[in-house]
Structure 1
């Protein structure tokens, strides 16, 4: 037995007292028109206190390694907003009790058990399995539940020195999928608000393979290939919300890719090292409804990099990203379609002191 116990206490505070100022441009310079009242863009304080306690035991029984564990989380969150809207306060920076616009809080307590298993078939092959309860705390939004899921994994790992491979099946069974409004989410919602997504399922397989195609005293050609397949969907209807939209059972979860892979081939000789990297990401829905203009493009990207070590401390490098110059839409939030990175060439010197 190898027992591990931990405890963590954390306090956090966000204090936002902001203003919007107006400018115009003349001759390439910004000219201030109106400084704006302090607080006209936001006057609020958010606070959080969190306590986490866990215990984990590692048990070795012959070829078996068992890892049971248990974690407890207690999180208290609170937000206070003061009035900043025109016509409702003469001073948007005031934090007097009479200027309080609203307060809200959310308290969460949760127990998180988990159990992992390793079985060594041989010196090079290991079977892995596990079941763990996952958790994400909601924001201080009232009437929003924490995100909870039971996560399963099953697979194997192989390492013979020259060849390394791994295949893992995973399944996340969500009791409640949590959505949180952020500056990059692009939804018509207030930053910090959270939304219940109800039941959802995410499952798939991850595959990794690495080897040296050629390994001699003069040069090496290493190869690495990774592939991930994910199937995700909502398991129930969700009433129209500012974050998820109008969801029907079976709709895909936004921004979760179905297919993605990466292939890297290198050439290493003396001080030289060069790599070509090919990556693919599948098209994806950005809203559950997946209507027109709610989908990204699939993208194949080719990058090339090379390094030359002048000495132990000086390294010359160059790289070309997106060699083909492919232009695709990779996202549509927060403010419309966003393309991938254009063809970019970089040359540089790295010096370690």
Structure 2
């Protein structure tokens, strides 16, 4: 058993067993327990004192939109760019304020405050995100409040708050959904709760065809959440989860010729495969010391295995067509009948991480000023094992056979093994002073981390030279300061600045040009930024809400990826304006029939490099890749008092560059060239008869079935064609 597993088990025992005994022997009489309402929220439900840009998508908004996945929901948030590379968010690509969205590596993802990445420090890639079915509320933070969280604090932070345990008796729901592209989904939720706490079970399964042909997927998740209110001062919360994905979604895009022939083809999709299994444990103890102080201690453990098989890794190399890596080099894309007899490459990777974080929140009156303070510390460890196998033997398409090749040398067999370990300590403190109509919030975070990269095998050869092992130790002080003014009713004016940080990226693919003992690990410095904001949130007028933020990000040591290797590319900057608002005419005219308008717009004035990078042909002034100047999401909706509502929306993304060189002419691989602007329409209808526990809904994306390009990272990727989903939900 792994050391983190033992620790997690020990923590579980320390929390659960003594607590159960304590509850049994000292539980107060009925009616004497002050039940603690526990949520995974990182934001207060009143935002007037937050000195930074925030967005919250609550249950009402999510039900009105009926998004297929997290991706569709986040498109309505200003400043957020989502690349629609797959069907239902199995691999999220989210960029905030001009940062590269690839696998969401520069945006911190949390579930109830727990990190979600494969490895938050060593491999911040989002191959998993909380299913939208379990989400009650989505919180997006882009301002100086990020000093309380980490390690990714450059672009922003997204927290998925899961649905709470029932408070009174048994409650739950069963939902079933169907759609074109053979889509079907099932979600069952049941829980029971009372004054002493409760327990809740979620089961989710979704399957169907992906954006491209032969990209079918099947995902399954089961999770359980429990809460024990020992007495008015002590509360325990626990959550466990198991997730499994088996899909034929390949990361290899299309060459220019292939894309022109059929945008939705996947030359080897029937053989390519992606397997992902994730187990998680989250525990929290809340000690309400008194009315002015609360100590919460969170512990978490995640064990994830992911493996991807590809028969093609380089798109469009031969006259704009792909060829099979481990077959006859003359075998072209249009002659793949023998693909089952071909080899390929597996990339199995194992991730383990765990952490513990005590945090003290308390009120005080130091210097005679009313204040709220937060002091916390987190200890975090990661253990990452990356392997790559390559062989011409068609049996390599079976992962079990592939693992039998461990230790084989040469250009086939066990090609690569990289072990990465991380130890990180984070300290943070923040204080909010309340002076009249002003809230003044200084804070600081300190990150101290050690990343060890050990290349044990590269290019099929063992490696034990000094250059194949690297210690990358970093420590950073990350201050933040914000101020909010509430001198006008239901209005907040805010300004803030904070130091952003992203850990140094360990190399993912290592080249050993001379075979044994020639691998060289590249050391990168952490990415740093200075983030400025000036903004306004207001609901001064009845039925009208508005938020607007002017932002400037001065980026230092941006990291550039080149075929799995990372190196620093110097300085860049992003400047822009975010605007979002909503008008409810039902409130304006005191009508139970409500027509509403919503919209969000991001104008990224500037997103450019500030330094020449000769090796990448990057010139100072070039625009950052995947940083569209305009993002627009608008919708009109109608809410009927008899249980019917409908919504029609549109999402527009302006032109983007696919590389730092700002290439406009497309090459045969499809990896170079621009990504043209596009607009996609969507619609939703919900109906719940009065007095009924059953609701019905219909949701559609890309109503006009427009063909559009979304990515060139590994070749050309088309956006999703028209997708329609119908569903029924019974709540009890």
Residues 1:74 and 1:299: Cα distance change in structure 2 (over 3 Å) = same
Deviations 1:43-63 (A, max 9, x none): 221100100001111000001
* Alignment of 1:105 onto 2:480: no
2:638 equivalent in structure 1: 267
Name whichever structure is richer in strand by fraction: 1
Q: Verify the 8 A CA contact 1:69 1:114 in the aligned structure 2.
A: yes
1:301 equivalent in structure 2: 680
* Alignment of 1:219 onto 2:590: no
2:502 equivalent in structure 1: 136
Structure 2 counterpart of 1:197, from 543, 548, 569: 569
Question: Matched residues in 2 for 1:317 and 1:19: separation?
Answer: 46
Residues 1:200 and 1:332: Cα distance change in structure 2 (over 3 Å) = same
Residues 1:285 and 1:98: Cα distance change in structure 2 (over 3 Å) = closer
Shift of residue 23, structure 1, vs aligned partner: 6.7
Shift of residue 313, structure 1, vs aligned partner: 4.0
* Alignment of 1:172 onto 2:553: yes
Q: Verify the 8 A CA contact 1:330 1:340 in the aligned structure 2.
A: yes
Question: Matched residues in 2 for 1:312 and 1:75: separation?
Answer: 55
Shift of residue 302, structure 1, vs aligned partner: 0.6
Question: Matched residues in 2 for 1:338 and 1:4: separation?
Answer: 45
Deviations 1:105-134 (A, max 9, x none): 211110011100001131122211001111
1:94 equivalent in structure 2: none
1:254 equivalent in structure 2: 625
Q: Verify the 8 A CA contact 1:80 1:100 in the aligned structure 2.
A: no
Residues 1:31 and 1:159: Cα distance change in structure 2 (over 3 Å) = closer
For structure 1, the residue ranges without an aligned partner over 5 or more in a row are 90-96, 182-186
Q: CA RMSD in A?
A: 2.4
Runs of 4+ in 1 over 6 A off after TM superposition: 97-101
For structure 2, the residue ranges without an aligned partner over 5 or more in a row are 1-370, 408-413, 508-521, 667-672
Question: Matched residues in 2 for 1:31 and 1:145: separation?
Answer: 38
Shift of residue 233, structure 1, vs aligned partner: 0.4
* Alignment of 1:162 onto 2:524: no
Residues 1:316 and 1:48: Cα distance change in structure 2 (over 3 Å) = same
Could you state the TM-score of these two structures normalised by the residue count of structure 1?
0.85
Question: Matched residues in 2 for 1:162 and 1:295: separation?
Answer: 41
1:148 equivalent in structure 2: 528
Structure 2 counterpart of 1:38, from 390, 406, 429: 406
Q: Verify the 8 A CA contact 1:83 1:101 in the aligned structure 2.
A: no
Could you state the TM-score of these two structures normalised by the residue count of structure 2?
0.42
Question: Matched residues in 1 for 2:478 and 2:702: separation?
Answer: 43
Residues 1:285 and 1:60: Cα distance change in structure 2 (over 3 Å) = same
Count of matched residue pairs: 326
Considering Cα pairs closer than 8 Å and 6+ residues apart, tell me whether 1 or 2 has the greater RCO: 2
1:236 equivalent in structure 2: 611
Shift of residue 239, structure 1, vs aligned partner: 2.4
Residues 1:84 and 1:202: Cα distance change in structure 2 (over 3 Å) = closer
Deviations 1:211-243 (A, max 9, x none): 113445441112111000112000111121xxx
Question: Matched residues in 1 for 2:398 and 2:546: separation?
Answer: 59
Question: Matched residues in 2 for 1:286 and 1:3: separation?
Answer: 44
